Amino acid sequence: MDKLIDHNKAKEFQQILKESEKIVLTCHVRPDGDAIGSCLGLWHLLKTLDKSPTVIVPDKAPVSLSFLPGFKEIGIYTSHKEFCEKTVEEADLIICCDFNTPSRQDTLAPVIQNAECRKVLIDHHTEPSNFTDLVFSYPKMSSTCELVFRIIAAMGLYDKVDRDCATCLMTGIITDTRNFTVNIKNPDIYDILMRLLEKDVDKDRIVKEALNTRSLTSLKLEAYALSQKMEIFPEHKCALITLDKGELKKYSYERGDTEGLVNRPLEIRGMIYSIFMREDPDCVKISARSCDNFPVSEICKTLYGGGGHIQAAGGEFHGSLEECRKKFLDHIGDFDKFLDKGYMGEE
Ligand code: 5GP
Ligand code: MN
């Protein structure tokens, strides 16, 4: 179970935890199940270890995660700046979960970067920047929550994992693997699933709440996007969906409402990758998904300065939605080389 984790590093982390009292747990902007799950999972663990932990996130998490124990205690930087800044300033340790570089924290980034206390990174994205004192970077793992569980096991703290902690960690694994359907090559993940189930986690409820519950308007928005806004490029085995602010408004869009939309075109036989562009207030948010190891991370990185994983990546574009779409269409042919079955990207 803990064999993948560097034992000395786990010991070092344990020592840092021992020496720390006020601990901040933080994650990337537009937090998802893995970001919130890893922060809250550690929050519950640290509480059982009699620490004073606080979860501070850059902006609001989707309502689909509000069932998580501890969700209401989360400090949201865009809503409670002063509280968050004071908590970070007073912290003697910051644990950064599920992101690989400060810019992924948006406006919270300088607050975290300027803090003088020790910092630890726990993440599963490639190419971590060097901004923490200790780094747990394991890009092969399904999720940061899987990594957190393994680190806890490596520190010999499995007994301290309570039902709430296990629920949060299970949620991140379930959302990042879409209920064990993607990104789960390592059979060990089922061992972890078993260990979490042993903590009396209600897996069915997590799947229902985090993946399969939504508002009527968000379901209609998805139907509209698929029926009216999906462009198919058969020669590139690609689908593109764009949604502008007016369309989002019409369907009373709320954070999280388009979660999962980008996966839908991959259900089409023969489709290799799917891109979704959403006009947010501050930028165009790009989400990309693929199968057959097609590296959508390359598209997000080269065209939009983003990144992520081979089969799940994203980025931000500062310009109009139409410019963003055009940029992709102007370069769509550049990525045909990855369509060959022979492509063996780094996993
Ligand atoms: P999503 O499409 O769910 O927002 O993100 C999919 C994956 O891409 C996640 O692993 C996420 O961390 C990463 N990602 C999303 N947006 C960005 C971005 O703007 N920059 C980078 N570097 N990664 C991103
Ligand atoms: Mn993740």
For the Cβ of 309 lying below 6 angstroms from any atom of ligand 1, the answer is yes
Each residue's pLDDT tens digit, 286-315: 999 999 999 999 999 999 999 999 999 999
What is the Cα gyration radius of the chain?
A: 20
Backbone angles phi, psi at 278, to 5 degrees: -120, 130
Q: Quote the ligand 2 centre to 235 CA distance (angstroms).
A: 31
Q: Is 313 in the pocket of ligand 1 (CB under 6 A)?
A: yes
DSSP conformation letters of 285-325: EEEEEESTT--HHHHHHHHHS-EE-SSEEEEEE-S-HHHHH
pLDDT in tens, 156-173: 999 999 999 999 999 999
Phi and psi of 271, rounded to 5°? Answer: -75, 135
pLDDT at 114 over 60: yes
The pLDDT of residue 184: 85
First vs last Cα of the chain: how many Å apart? 21
Residue 92 has pLDDT above 50, yes or no: yes
* Predicted TM-score (pTM) of this structure: 0.95
Query: 259 in ligand 1 pocket by Cβ < 6 Å?
Result: no
Nearest ligand atom owner, CA of 172:
2
Helices (H) and strands (E) in the chain, counts: 12, 12
Q: Which tens digit of pLDDT belongs to each residue from 27-44?
A: 999 999 999 999 999 999
Q: pLDDT band for position 4 (50/70/90)?
A: confident
Cα(32) to centroid(ligand 1), Å: 10
Kindly give the pairing relationship between strand 230-233 and strand 238-243: antiparallel
Q: Which atom of ligand 1 is nearest to the CA of 259?
A: 3
What does the alpha-carbon distance between residue 180 and residue 201 come to, in Å, rounded to a whole number? 16
Q: Which atom of ligand 1 is nearest to the CA of 306?
A: 20
